[in-house]
Amino acid sequence: MITNYEIKKIDKEEVLFLYFDIDSEFAKGNFKNKYKNIQDYIKRFIKDNKIAFAGSTAVIVVGGSILGNILLNKDNNKNTTYALRDRYQEIVSSIPSDINMEDIIVEEEEINVPEDINTNENINDDEISEVVNEIKTNNVVIDSSNNKAASSEEKYNTVKESVKQNVNVVEENTMIESIKDDLIEVHEDMDNNTYITIQRSNGQMVTLELEEYITGVVSSEMPALFHTEALKAQAIIARTYALKAMSKGKLLTDTNSTQNYKDAEQLKTIWGGNFNTYYYKVKESVSSTKGMFLTYNGNYIEAVYHSTSNGKTESSIYGWGNYYPYLVSVDSQYDSLNPSFLVNTTLSYEKLSTLLDTDINIDTEFNIIDKTDGDRVKTIMVDDKSYTGVNFRNILGLRSADFDIEKTNSGITFTTRGYGHGVGMSQYGANGMAKNGYSYIQILNHYYPGTVINS
């Protein structure tokens, strides 16, 4: 029986991983009495469990080992081997019988080719244990049976068993180096990635490698034309947001309910002929900050950001009523460079009456009572009714809580400065800092004082 499943994004395609109990029905021999074939069994499982899977390939995993792929198309009943496993086995099979496996084991640090390799000796279990103990602490591979970490001992033993035989002196050290490089590459592909599951706008659940997801977020949340140092700062903030959400078990989406995300195909539609230039630029900015995130006192920060401030960022106490020592008002002098820094929004008295659920006319009094540390409206009175600046902005759909009011015969014109809630990093402010020589580290230290970049 299938005990668990997950959907992963591999080479831009969805792949369904199915984890079978080692004593599953098909292993016991009575499988054919119930199902036409393995494809039929899997298709029924997908249907019965209402799995939102749009791909065509299922990977069969039994007892922690990947047995192979099942192509779910009706016209193809052949099993093929999962690409990464194929590549690994291809490398292993290329190792000559006279090479000692202990001399090509992948280590975490620099690899040195021994000048003298033992001759005509069987692989010794004590020597294997010694090598395994050296690497098992830091080197882990994905245990496909439950998606948890498994020791490199399992990986090493698998390879060792497939080539275990008497060995002779090997003179072709370059061949050994080549094999080691290939094993390291596969090892890194398998070991060094973090995966994240998001819910797309169509309801589909998609699992992505974290850095691929961050590339899609940065591409969606910040203009690709921005300076690379600003893009790097955005990548670290986006990654921090995602990691904190993961740590809390919060489901991420591809909309601004969490963070906007677009895949490569969507970005091709948006960017057109500029896709390669923009995507490479964003991807490089993300890659150069791989694994970096922000903390305060050892904990993930509230990684909030906005498009454009009014010249100052806002304290979180005025934004949401919660105080965070790293989300305070700081100067953001470059925001006025945004062409949409000042925007006039005119609402008719009829529209205002509907939105505020009271009669609004040319005689209605609008009085700004006080302002916040970030020079945004803190309290506003509409006749005898009081609103916070944040609530008033949200009700009317204004671009920011920093606004001026001008009455006309037909309605009221609100002139706003900046765009967004104003808390955390200003994206246009960050871009201005980057253009004036500030690094992504300086940008983050400025907008999130007292925080620490971790990796």
pLDDT per position as a tens digit, 385-427: 999 999 999 999 999 999 999 999 999 999 999 999 999 999 9
User: Within this chain, do residues 312 and 257 fall inside the same structural domain, yes or no?
Assistant: yes
Q: Which long-range contacts (CB under 8 A, 24 or more apart) does 377-383 make?
A: 377/401, 377/402, 377/403, 378/318, 382/356, 382/358, 383/358
pLDDT at position 273? 94
pLDDT at position 150? 45
Using DSSP, state whether 233 is helix, strand or coil: helix
Average the pLDDT over 38-56 and give the result: 78
User: Within this chain, do residues 95 and 174 fall inside the same structural domain, yes or no?
Assistant: yes
Residue 209 gets which letter from DSSP? E
User: Within this chain, do residues 22 and 68 fall inside the same structural domain, yes or no?
Assistant: yes
Q: How far apart, in Å, are the Cα atoms of 204 and each of 73, 198, 207, 254, 283?
A: 20, 8, 10, 11, 24
**pLDDT confidence band for 97 (50 / 70 / 90):** low
Average the pLDDT over 39-53 and give the result: 78
pLDDT at position 64? 60
Give the pTM: 0.60
Q: Which domain holds residue 405?
A: 342-417
User: Within this chain, do residues 395 and 449 fall inside the same structural domain, yes or no?
Assistant: no
User: Within this chain, do residues 270 and 290 fall inside the same structural domain, yes or no?
Assistant: yes
Report yes or no on 360 lying in a domain: yes
pLDDT above 60: residue 142: no
Mean pLDDT score across all residues of the chain: 78
pLDDT above 50: residue 58: yes
User: Within this chain, do residues 386 and 240 fall inside the same structural domain, yes or no?
Assistant: no
pLDDT above 50: residue 74: no
User: Within this chain, do residues 431 and 413 fall inside the same structural domain, yes or no?
Assistant: no
Spatial CA neighbour of 100 closest among 126, 79, 78, 119: 119
Report yes or no on 337 lying in a domain: no
User: Within this chain, do residues 432 and 413 fall inside the same structural domain, yes or no?
Assistant: no
pLDDT above 70: residue 343: yes
pLDDT at position 102? 43
Using DSSP, state whether 27 is helix, strand or coil: helix
User: Within this chain, do residues 210 and 157 fall inside the same structural domain, yes or no?
Assistant: no
pLDDT at position 190? 45
CA gap 410, 397 in Å, rounded: 19
pLDDT at position 382? 96
CA gap 79, 332 in Å, rounded: 59
Q: What is the pLDDT of residues 204-245, one digit of tens each?
A: 999 999 999 999 999 999 999 999 999 999 999 999 999 999
Report yes or no on 118 lying in a domain: yes
CA gap 74, 138 in Å, rounded: 43
pLDDT at position 145? 39
pLDDT above 50: residue 121: no
pLDDT at position 88? 46
Average the pLDDT over 291-306 and give the result: 96
pLDDT above 90: residue 314: yes
pLDDT above 90: residue 312: yes
User: Within this chain, do residues 282 and 213 fall inside the same structural domain, yes or no?
Assistant: yes
Report yes or no on 334 lying in a domain: no
Which of 78, 95, 126 marks a domain boundary? 78
Q: What is the pLDDT of residues 145-189, one digit of tens each?
A: 344 344 445 544 554 454 443 333 334 455 555 555 555 554 444
Residue with more model confidence, 114 or 269: 269
